[in-house]
Structure 1
Amino acid sequence: MVDAQNEVKKDRPVFRNIGLAQLIHYRLPWAGKVSILHRISGAALFLMLPFLLYLLDQSLASELSYQKFQAITGNIFVKLILLGLIWAFLHHFCAGIRYLLLDLEIGVEKNEANRSAIFVFALGLALTAVVGLKLFGLY
């Protein structure tokens, strides 16, 4: 009986944790990449919430504070931060809709899930580019 259990244990594959050197060569599917970016974008939006509330306060308090708001947002560094936050919001929004559809069991097949992940990634970038053009005054 013990020998039969040992033979079964030997036949099973052994899965070890991925080492740091192996992470470079590991290929994550598009759905996994979008999932990680969804988490990163949500964390970025949460962590930058005080900055966004400060900007909202500066834009609404008075005419003088609105001029201060325009001076702050006129800086190229702040515009790049805002562009990153715009991407985070748009990606998080689009990926959230994708996850709601997956919860309704729409697009759960492997090919459909891969296609929707690529679509969400591209849509987030495209919408960010459009808003970024407006932010930098190019549109």
Structure 2
Amino acid sequence: MTELSKKRPEFRNINALQDLPTYRLPAAGWVSILHRISGLLMFFLLPLVVWLFDASLSSELSYERFTAAFDSGIGFVPGVLVKLVVLALIWGYLHHFIAGVRHLYMDMTHSVTKEFGKSSAQVTLVLSLGLTVVLGAKLFGLY
């Protein structure tokens, strides 16, 4: 073995409590995991989305109930918690959409280099979080 080629470490017994916190996941790994989480989040919040859509379009009275849910809440759930759940849904949709477009672009153009994967993952994270902040500010009435 030469000096230039270093022997890679072997991990036979991985201790989750010791080894996983020190492992640095690359940006592409975070995007991949968050893509799955956002899809799961949207799936579980689908009944809320259907209710929000139905309440916003059915009648003027249902629209008033819909807008009141963000101020006074729904049942025992306070309005701030409703807004936070909707904010999580906004993030989930934006991240899932942008990461999906990233994956489709990489599949169509065969852009599977390490550099492109890193830069496109960073763009995905910045865009999804940036758009979530902008829409969250609108949701919470900051503009």
Structure-1-length-normalised TM-score: 0.84
Say whether 1:66 aligns with 2:66. Answer: no
Residue 128 of structure 2, aligned match among 112, 124, 129: 124
Identity, in percent, stands at 53
How far the C-alpha of 1:114 sits from its partner, in A, is 0.4
Shift of 1:18: 3.8
TM-score (norm 2): 0.82
1:17 offset after TM fit, Å? 6.4
Letter in 2 for 1:19: N
User: Which of 22, 35, 39 is residue 36 of structure 2 equivalent to?
Assistant: 39
- Deviation string 1:45-81 (CA, Å, 9 cap, x unpaired) is 0110001111111112221111111111221111111
Structure 2, unaligned runs of 5 or more: 1-8, 72-78
**109 and 48 in structure 1: CA distance in 2 versus 1, 3 angstrom threshold:** same
Task: Please name the residue that 1:9 is paired with.
Answer: none
How far apart are 1:19 and its partner, in Å? 3.0
Offset, 1:31: 0.5
Task: Rate the CA distance shift 1:64–1:127 in 2: closer, same or farther, 3 A.
Answer: same
Aligned-residue CA RMSD (Å): 1.6
d(CA) in 2 for partners of 1:102, 1:113: 8
Tell me the equivalent position of 2:111.
Answer: 107
Deviation at 1:35? 0.1
> CA separation in 2, counterparts of 1:123 and 1:35?
15
- Of the two, which has the highest radius of gyration? 1
The number of aligned residues is 127
Deviations 1:78-104 (A, max 9, x none): 111111110000010100000001112
Partner of 2:87: 83
**Secondary structure, counterpart of 1:117 in structure 2:** helix
Q: Which runs of 5+ in 1 are unaligned?
A: 1-12
Q: Using the alignment, how far apart are the partners of 1:60 and 1:17 within structure 2?
A: 57
Tell me the CA shift for residue 123 of structure 1. 0.5
